[in-house]
Every structure is written in C-alpha cells, then in structure tokens.
C-alpha cells in the first residue's frame, strides 16, 4: 500500500489538470509544489499545508488565501484558485516563480556601491508600492521583512506571506501571547519577526496595528539591505524582542546619504504617529530620493564632461595668448617702412591664433552652460557649483587684471551667486601687502587713489606701519606708498592690490620678497626720480603695435624728472665743440628742421653763431625755440649720443630708458592708460588738440596734471621719447 501523491489528493475539479508535480520547497507548516497547468499551459505553484499543521497554521493559511484574493498588484502574486485536498488540507494555486531570491545584501552586490544602493532602495520601493495597494484596500501585512520579499533574476519584486495580514477592522486571531517562537518568527498576540518588528507589535498590540507597522517593516528591511544586518541584533530571540519593544536599533552608518538616513530613521520611529502615515507616503519619499540620485548622477556626468572641456579651453586659450604675444611682439619689431611682404605672414599667423582663441572661448561657454545645466538638474550638487565658482573667479581676476570693468562686474555677480565659501575672501576684495626695505625700519604711509575730476589723486595718507611689514591686510585698489626713513630720500612706491592678492615683491624666479632700496639722502639730484624694482601692468591691446595687458617686472632705475631741454642739449653740443669735435660732427647731433632739406646747412636748428658757440636759430616757420622747451627733431642716435655724453660728464651710467621702464615710470603699476588715470582728457597734457592755433611744444613747467605716480613729468604729451630698445628707428650713421 503506497502513500497517495499530491495529484491523487486533489479534488475532482483539479485532478488530471496539473501534471508533473514536484516538491519545490518545504517549511515547518507547509510545502510548495510546482506543476504544469495542462489546461492553460503554464507553470503554477501549489502551496499546501502539511498534514500535521496546527489549527492555528490552518487559520493563518486561510487568511492568506482570503487576503491574496482581494489584492491585485503586479508585486503581489495572484491566487489563481484554492481548495481542499482529500483529508481537508487547504491548498492554493498561484503563479510559479522558479528563479526568485529573498532580499539580502549579496543580491545587489554589483561592484559599484552607489549603483548597489540605488537598486536596494528601488527594490524596497517596489515592495512599498505593493503594500500601498494593500493599504488602499484596508489590508495591513504585519510581517514585512526581507524573507517575505523576493526578487526574480529579471528584477521583479514580490511581497509574499500574507498569513498575518489584517483585513480592514477585522481582529487578529487571538492565541496565547507566544504560541510559537524561533530566532526570527513568533505568532500569536505577539506576531511577526522580532529583528524587523515595530514596537507596538512587540508589545502584543497585533490587533491594533496600522499601515505604519508595515512602514516600519519596510524601513527595517531597507536598513538590513544597506547595513547587512537587521535593526535589532542580539544573542537570542527574547533579547531581540526586548530591543524591538524599546525600538533600540543601531544608528545607520554616516556613510549612508543624509536624505536617505532621514527617511529610514523616520520610518523606524518608536511612535507610529511619527512615521510616514502609510506605504504610499514612503513610496513618494523613496521615489523622490531615487529621482534625486538619478538627477545627481546625470548632473555629475555633465560635470565630468564639462571639466574636460574647461581644461581643454584653458590650455588652448593659454597657448593662443602666448602665441599672440609672441607674434604681436614680432610685428611690433618691424620698422615702419617694412611693408606688406614681411607683415603678411605674421598677419596670417595672428588671425589663426585669434581663431583658436575664439574656439577656446566658445568651448568655455559650452562648458559653463553644461555646469549650469548640471545645477538645474541637481541644485545641491557641490562639484558643479565649485567648478562654476572656479571659472568665475578666474574670469574675475582676468577681467580686473585687464581693467575690464563690465566683465569684472558680471563675473563678480556670477561668483557671488555660487555662494562658495572658498571665495568669500576674494569677494570681500581685501588683499595683503608684504613690504621689506633696505635698510629696514622705514615708516610707510599709504594713500589710496580715488578718482576726482577725471584724475586719480591720492586720498588722505594713513600710517601703514614700519618695515618689515608682513601680510598687512588692505582693501583692494590702487595705492601710493610713501616710504620714509631718516637719512634717506622718500621713495614713492605704487601698489595695485587685486582681489585676494598678496603683493610681496618676489622677483621672477625668486623665493622671498626683494627689499626696496632706499637711496641715501643727497644721492639723487633735484631733477632725478627713483623708480623702485617690482611688478607692474604693461601693454594695451587697444593701442597700436602693443601687446595685451599683462604683468611685467622691472628692476629699479633712476630717471630724469623732466624731458631734456633745449638748454641742456645746447650745453651738450657746445661741450663737444669745445672738446675738439669738428663742427661737422657736432652738426650731426643737432636737431633738424623738418621743412628744410637735410643737406642744407640751414636745416640745423642749433648751429654755430657769430660768437663761435652753438646757439638756437629760428626754424623754417620763424619760431625761435625757447630754452625750457624739450629738445625735439633729433633721431635715436642723437638721443643715445647725448646719454653717453651725460654719463661721461657726471660719471654715472646714464642711458636711454627701455620701453618697459618708460611704461612703468609713466603709468605706475596699476595699468592706468595715462599718467593721471584712465580718462582721455586732452587738457591734461600738451597734445596737438590741447590749445587753439598751430600745435607747438610748451615749457617743461606747463601742464602739471601730466605727472606720473613717481613724479615724472610730461610722459603723455609734449614730445615723443626715444627708448633704448625701440626698434622702429633709423639705422646707425
């Protein structure tokens, strides 16, 4: 006599319909068989109670059948049918899932922790969607835990085991406080699984559990998936039950995202009223977090791409700028009469580099748009905000260095909008000054330049301190320092302090600030000005044959305060004559009347007079040049010969100033366009349009506004000046 098979125990309506039944899984109270539904040609699962199952288990099984039949959700296995075997054992028929696994940590181990976290949250959200459907139908699961949630290989999630579910206001099955207890499960008035159990269930209020009990179970499940352990960990089930009653779960690791921790911690609140009201509310919060993560990931991808574009744009712009400076310098080195044949190749190279520069600017603009798009996706994304702040801070510094006020204002506004604390000091605008002197112990008075009546003038001086001065804070702006020490001439030392800049006087290639030399009193003549060594802004991209505004360094030098006058130049010519030079040689260095052929002896404005000395004669226009006019109509070699004569006479190494030296002496260090500031005011200098009538020079004491920060006069008007390294000059005689 053999024991009847499951197929033989099926009642008549089902017998013969299910083929090839095989035991799939077996538990303490029941079994799951898989079979083929021959009528519908689909695999099904038959869940059957064991013959020795308790009456309580039978009642729970019946509850699962009733609850499952009321629910219709893709994450809840549908019950196709139910019945009783011969012998009165209940069974139910549902969809068969051959490839499922319960939720655990390893199930989501994909290598990338961020991706794994998103998948874990996504699985719990799917389970929460199923429970939200149940809650909408008045059903509370009451035993939500990882083992009651399964996932297929395809990623489909299902909530199982609805045996402890509460339907609407129906009371729970009442039994003794604990009928059956294992490490994870207890049933009766205390029903559920202690490692994931809400406090009210642990206290035995099974009949009064609300949807917030399922919220607790969902958050406990997510806690387990994120940490690898349930909220309550203890040596035995009784201890876990005690922890559950007190809601004493271990804090989540700080490594978990703050927003996600807040969602879980709320769901694990001791009081049900403090949790999310139901699973639908939890779905909304988890969906919001997942959407935020997805947006942040898309935003981060944009940041990565734009960071590469920004790096490429910076390199390309720097290379083009360097090439343009070199090409502009080559173009400026050509003599005025050297024509198109020599200039054309340089023009073409300049056009090519300017095109590269425009391409770099476009690349930077695209990168900026990408970073802005990243912030629109994820406003809290710090790396996008930081990249934008880096970009705007560089633009701000470059614009202020180039004295581009509108661009600087826009960059400042953009940088402020980034609210990046790294640039708080830059936005404040303060800088620092380190100042050493040789010898030390000099008092430094600081006068800030202010604009008044279209001129930059010194404001009231304030004592900055005594040298050495180390990292003294000052608001950004242009200053003129007056450095005073007993026994030494006062030194005028302009300073241009940009945002966040440390002005320290470290020379190119140097490691420490270079002390400012203080000339001993009496070393400088009344007509001599000392220009200290240091950095300054040189160039003007709007000027003809000039380079872009950039920082340059010049060593200290001494310059005459006024242009060389006719009187001084006559002294030079007469000294040559008295020293034995021939009249022909002396006339070579004499100014030339521009309207008289050079071969004509009368072309020389200064020539020998009746007394035998060189003297001034009226020029072709009948003008007799006053002795306190600057000498003009001399060529480069005349100017150089005068400097050599003066050097021999005074025993000092006089020479013509170099271009950068002249520019620093005229403009100071802040890149101002004119010695008095940026306003193109013709009344401040002796220019062709400064007065009515014929344009003529004037006395060196005229136009007091045409004075540089160092006190040098007439550097914007009166007469053009030959420089030592100026290449646009005549060949040597």
State residue 726's pLDDT score: 61
Give 25's contacts (C-beta < 8 A, 6+ positions apart). 31, 32
The span from the CA of 1 to the CA of 474, in Å, is: 106
Backbone angles phi, psi at 432, to 5 degrees: -135, 150
The two three-digit tokens of residue 687, written as one number: 């220019």
Nearest in space to 572 (alpha carbons), one of 492, 625, 460, 649: 649
The two three-digit tokens of residue 572, written as one number: 């030079």
* Buried b or exposed e, range 322-336, using 16+ CB within 10 angstroms: ebbeebbeebbeeee
Calculate helix-pair angle for 279-333, 382-401, nearest 10 degrees: 20
The span from the CA of 477 to the CA of 593, in Å, is: 46
Measured CA to CA in angstroms, residue 666 lies from 204, 531, 659 at distances of 92, 10, 11
Backbone angles phi, psi at 263, to 5 degrees: -65, -50
Which stretches of 378-460 are DSSP H helices? 382-401, 405-418, 424-428
The span from the CA of 125 to the CA of 285, in Å, is: 9
- DSSP for 267-285 reads HT-SSGGGS-SSHHHHHHH
The span from the CA of 255 to the CA of 258, in Å, is: 8
The span from the CA of 221 to the CA of 148, in Å, is: 10
The span from the CA of 488 to the CA of 111, in Å, is: 73
The span from the CA of 479 to the CA of 459, in Å, is: 9
The span from the CA of 173 to the CA of 164, in Å, is: 9
Q: What is the largest CA-CA distance in the chain?
A: 160
**What length is written for the chain?**
733
Is the distance from CB of 232 to CB of 225 less than 8 angstroms? no
- DSSP β-bridge partners for residue 559: 529
Pairing of strands 502-503, 430-435: parallel
The span from the CA of 598 to the CA of 591, in Å, is: 10
The two three-digit tokens of residue 423, written as one number: 């640039």
Which letter does DSSP use for residue 624 in this model? P
Measured CA to CA in angstroms, residue 599 lies from 523, 570, 592 at distances of 44, 21, 10
**Averaged in consecutive runs of 10 residues, what is the pLDDT profile of the chain (733 residues)?**
63 76 79 85 87 80 82 88 81 82 68 85 95 94 90 88 75 38 46 80 82 96 92 80 85 92 95 96 95 89 91 92 88 82 91 94 94 91 93 91 87 93 89 96 97 95 97 95 97 94 93 96 94 92 65 95 97 96 93 79 88 92 93 94 96 94 96 94 92 90 96 94 69 47
The span from the CA of 174 to the CA of 209, in Å, is: 14
Burial of 62 per CB tally in 10 Å (0-12, 13-18, 19+):
middle
Give 692's contacts (C-beta < 8 A, 6+ positions apart). none
Nearest in space to 628 (alpha carbons), one of 547, 715, 708, 719: 719
Pairing of strands 437-438, 186-187: unpaired
For 617-666, what is each residue's pLDDT tens digit? 998 888 999 999 999 999 999 999 999 999 999 999 999 999 999 999 99
Is the CA virtual torsion 271, 273, 278, 281 positive or negative? negative
Which letter does DSSP use for residue 707 in this model? B
Is the distance from CB of 665 to CB of 708 less than 8 angstroms? yes
Pairing of strands 166-167, 180-181: unpaired
Other CB atoms within 10 Å distance of the CB of residue 7:
17
The span from the CA of 17 to the CA of 35, in Å, is: 10
Nearest in space to 243 (alpha carbons), one of 252, 255, 230: 230
The two three-digit tokens of residue 476, written as one number: 């950004």
State residue 171's pLDDT score: 40
Give 553's contacts (C-beta < 8 A, 6+ positions apart). 507, 508, 533, 534, 535, 536
The span from the CA of 589 to the CA of 567, in Å, is: 14
Measured CA to CA in angstroms, residue 647 lies from 574, 636, 644, 733 at distances of 16, 17, 5, 21
Other CB atoms within 10 Å distance of the CB of residue 648:
12
The span from the CA of 250 to the CA of 255, in Å, is: 14
Nearest in space to 684 (alpha carbons), one of 700, 714, 701, 706: 706
Is the distance from CB of 480 to CB of 492 less than 8 angstroms? yes
Nearest in space to 393 (alpha carbons), one of 363, 365, 424, 367: 424
The span from the CA of 468 to the CA of 57, in Å, is: 91
The span from the CA of 306 to the CA of 381, in Å, is: 14
Strands (E), 539-659: 550-554, 557-560, 606-608, 614-616
Q: How far is CA 653 from the centre of its chain?
A: 51
State residue 107's pLDDT score: 66
Q: How far is CA 303 from the centre of its chain?
A: 10
- In three-state secondary structure terms, 216 is helix
The span from the CA of 387 to the CA of 179, in Å, is: 63
Over its C-alpha atoms, the chain yields an Rg (Å, rounded) of 46
Residue with tokens 């720097």: 318
- DSSP β-bridge partners for residue 149: 159
- DSSP β-bridge partners for residue 25: 32
Is the distance from CB of 668 to CB of 709 less than 8 angstroms? yes
The span from the CA of 269 to the CA of 247, in Å, is: 8
The two three-digit tokens of residue 612, written as one number: 């035998």
The two three-digit tokens of residue 180, written as one number: 């059956």
């Amino acid at each position: 006599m053999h024991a009847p098979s499951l197929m033989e125990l099926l009642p008549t309506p089902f017998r013969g319909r299910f083929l090839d039944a095989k035991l799939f899984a077996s538990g303490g109270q029941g079994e799951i068989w898989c079979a083929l539904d021959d009528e519908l040609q689909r695999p099904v699962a038959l869940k059957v109670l064991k013959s020795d199952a308790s009456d309580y288990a039978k009642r729970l099984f019946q509850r699962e059948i009733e609850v499952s039949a009321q629910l219709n959700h893709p994450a809840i296995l549908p019950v196709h049918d139910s019945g009783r075997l011969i012998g009165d054992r209940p069974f139910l028929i549902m969809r068969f899932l051959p490839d499922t696994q319960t939720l655990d940590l390893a199930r989501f181990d994909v290598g990338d922790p961020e991706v794994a976290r998103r998948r874990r949250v996504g699985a719990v959200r799917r389970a929460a969607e199923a429970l939200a459907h149940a809650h909408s139908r008045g059903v509370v699961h009451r035993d939500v835990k990882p083992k009651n949630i399964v996932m297929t290989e395809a990623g489909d999630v299902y909530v199982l085991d609805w045996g402890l579910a509460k339907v609407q206001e129906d009371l729970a099955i009442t039994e003794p406080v604990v009928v059956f207890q294992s490490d994870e499960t207890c049933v009766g008035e205390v029903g559920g699984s202690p490692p994931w159990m809400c406090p009210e269930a642990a206290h035995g209020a099974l009949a009064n559990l609300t949807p917030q009990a399922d919220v607790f179970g969902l958050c406990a499940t997510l806690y387990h998936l994120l940490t690898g352990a349930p909220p309550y960990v203890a040596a035995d089930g009784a201890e876990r039950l005690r922890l559950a009653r007190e809601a004493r779960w271990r804090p989540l690791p700080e490594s978990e995202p703050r927003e996600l921790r807040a969602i879980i911690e709320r769901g694990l609140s001791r009081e049900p009223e403090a949790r999310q009201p139901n699973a639908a509310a939890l779905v909304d919060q988890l969906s919001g977090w997942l959407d935020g993560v997805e947006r942040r990931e898309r935003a981060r991808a944009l940041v990565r791409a734009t960071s590469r574009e920004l790096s490429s744009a910076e390199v390309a712009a720097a290379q083009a700028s360097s090439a343009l400076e070199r090409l502009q310098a080559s173009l400026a080195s050509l003599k005025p009469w050297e024509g198109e044949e020599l200039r054309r190749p340089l023009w073409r190279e300049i056009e090519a580099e300017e095109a590269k520069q425009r391409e770099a600017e476009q690349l930077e603009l695209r990168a900026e748009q990408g970073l802005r798009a990243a912030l629109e996706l994820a406003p809290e994304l710090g790396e996008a905000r930081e990249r934008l702040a880096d970009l705007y801070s560089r633009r701000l510094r470059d614009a202020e260095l180039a004295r581009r006020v509108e661009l600087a204002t826009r960059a400042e506004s953009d940088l402020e909008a980034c609210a990046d604390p790294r640039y708080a000091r830059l936005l404040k605008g303060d800088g620092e000054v380190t100042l050493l002197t040789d010898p030390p112990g000099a008092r430094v008075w600081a006068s800030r330049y202010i604009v008044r009546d279209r001129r930059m003038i010194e404001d009231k001086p304030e004592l900055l301190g005594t040298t050495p001065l180390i990292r003294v804070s000052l608001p950004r702006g242009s200053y003129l320092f007056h450095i005073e020490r007993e026994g030494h001439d006062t030194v005028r030392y302009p300073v241009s302090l940009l945002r966040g800049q440390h002005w320290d006087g470290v020379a190119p290639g140097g490691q420490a600030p270079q002390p400012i030399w203080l000339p001993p009193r009496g070393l400088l003549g009344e007509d001599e000005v000392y220009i200290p060594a240091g950095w300054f802004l040189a160039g003007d991209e709007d000027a003809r044959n000039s380079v872009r505004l950039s920082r340059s360094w010049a060593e200290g030098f001494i310059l005459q305060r006024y242009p060389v006058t006719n009187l001084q130049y006559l002294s030079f010519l007469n000294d040559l004559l008295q020293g034995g030079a021939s009249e022909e040689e002396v006339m070579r260095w004499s100014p030339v009347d521009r309207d008289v052929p050079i071969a004509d002896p009368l072309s020389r404005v200064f020539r020998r007079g009746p007394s035998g000395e060189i003297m001034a004669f009226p020029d072709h226009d009948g003008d007799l040049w006053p002795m306190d006019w600057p000498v003009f109509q001399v060529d480069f070699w005349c100017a150089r010969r005068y400097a050599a004569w003066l050097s021999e006479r005074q025993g000092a190494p006089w020479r013509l100033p170099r271009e950068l030296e002249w520019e620093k002496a005229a403009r100071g260090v802040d890149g101002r366009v004119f010695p008095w500031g940026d306003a193109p005011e013709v009344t401040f200098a002796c220019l062709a349009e400064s007065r009515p009538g014929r344009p003529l020079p004037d006395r060196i004491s005229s136009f007091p506004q045409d004075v540089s920060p160092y006190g040098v006069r007439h550097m914007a008007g009166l007469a053009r000046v030959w420089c030592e390294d100026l290449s646009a000059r005549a060949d040597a005689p």
